[in-house]
Homo-oligomer: A and B are copies of this chain.
């Protein structure tokens, strides 16, 4: 084997996962699987949220008090854990949005110079 395949890591810009989750939940409460689907769909399959990234992120956000979780039954009659934003979570979404736009704006300024 001649190692033709380079690892395809870094599927999404690190540091943006929590923001994407917060944004998704700001539309409506959703379970983990649904969150991943929603982001993938809206991004036209560009962003793929791995389960091994998603659930630890949701745990962190629970601990920080940004979301609340509740076991319910999904549209497909399976038990699922629905997450909803708290007030702190909504604030955090604002913080992350403005920081992201500041950062990406700064990066673009650097990248646009001739």
Do A27 and B113 form a contact, CB below 8 Å, given A14-B14, A15-B14? yes
- A47 located at the interface, meaning its Cβ lies under 8 Å from any Cβ of chain B in the complex: yes
Assembled-state Cα–Cα distance A113/B102 (Å): 19
Of the residues B14, B106, B110, contact of A23 by C-beta under 8 Å:
B110
| Number of copies of this kind of chain in the complex | 2
What are the residues of chain B within 8 A of A44 when measuring CB–CB? 106, 109
Assembled-state Cα–Cα distance A109/B42 (Å): 7
Nearest CB in chain B: distance from A105 CB, A: 8
Assembled-state Cα–Cα distance A59/B16 (Å): 26
* Inter-subunit contact A106/B43 (CB<8 Å): yes
Nearest CB in chain B: distance from A84 CB, A: 18
